[in-house]
Amino acid sequence: MRPRRGLRWMGQAGALLGVAGLRLSAAVVSQCEVTDGGVVTDTEGRVLAWDTFRGGAAWIPAVTGSPAWGLPALEPGGIAFDAPGDTATPLASAAPSVATLFLVVSPSLPAEGFATLVEVPGASVTAAARADPPVYDPEDAAGLSVRVNGLPAPGIPDAPHIIEVDFAQPVPGGDLRIGGASACAAWRQPWRGRVVAVVAFGVPPDEPVRRTVRSYLARRHGVAGDFTPAGREAVIQAIALGFHTHGLFSTRFFLK
């Protein structure tokens, strides 16, 4: 019998984030990708920190100094939390506040059990692998807005995809977990698969910026689907908010 979460917080604060004045202050507080070598590991390939672009908040192990918890591992397909042995600690952000989270993940779900990708106090994005097809547990995700590849579909594609989570209210990065749940080490519920990229916003971005982020992540990390960017102005806006596109949407003019 799997332990259930405590009180679900839905609140009205999420609605307050939609006012234009707050949206103008949206900014990327963390952006990191395995492909850019920003993962700091020990000699055994265990993750000590996941650095971010442009001085953003790093992701670090949420549980340290306990023999019951191990560290996630850096593997060719991304960061893995389901290695045999000790329960791998999830990662927490050093950001003061996170409201929207984008992750590129490659699931590898077993026939039984559960896998927690994202957890905040009172709610989580938990994959119920025993469902056919696997889905995100709607009870655990109560109060969260979860989209898969830009759509509010609960199913999990058997391929790399983008998970987009809006929290009911911004949460301190230290209370946010990716890659598992840190309730107790005996409760093995790590994410089964690999996490390749994470982008966190301090305030929910507008839809054109979201489309730009999805398009960039899909192109850079091989996520199949229609991820047309919102256009030049949206790309400029995303960059102004601190999003690093690695020049993916740049255009060069050759004059004779």
CB 168 within 8 A of CB 10: yes
Percentage of the chain lying above the pLDDT 70 cut: 87
What confidence category does residue 29 fall into, taking pLDDT thresholds of 50, 70 and 90?
A: very high
So what's the pLDDT on residue 22? 35
Segment 19-43 shows an average pLDDT of 76
Pull the structure tokens for residue 77: 């397909």
Segment 65-94 shows an average pLDDT of 90
Cis check for the bond before 205: say yes or no (omega within 30 of 0): no
Q: How far apart are CA 59 and CA 106, in angstroms?
A: 19
Segment 196-220 shows an average pLDDT of 96
So what's the pLDDT on residue 113? 78
Greatest mean pLDDT among 48-57, 95-104, 247-256 lies in 95-104
Q: How far apart are CA 102 and CA 123, in angstroms?
A: 17
- DSSP-derived pairing of the beta strands 123-128 and 193-201: unpaired
Segment 212-232 shows an average pLDDT of 93
> According to CATH, what is the number of the domain 21-240?
2.60.120
Segment 124-140 shows an average pLDDT of 86
Does position 1 have pLDDT exceeding 70, yes or no?
no
Percentage of the chain lying above the pLDDT 90 cut: 57
Does position 147 have pLDDT exceeding 80, yes or no?
yes
Segment 14-21 shows an average pLDDT of 32
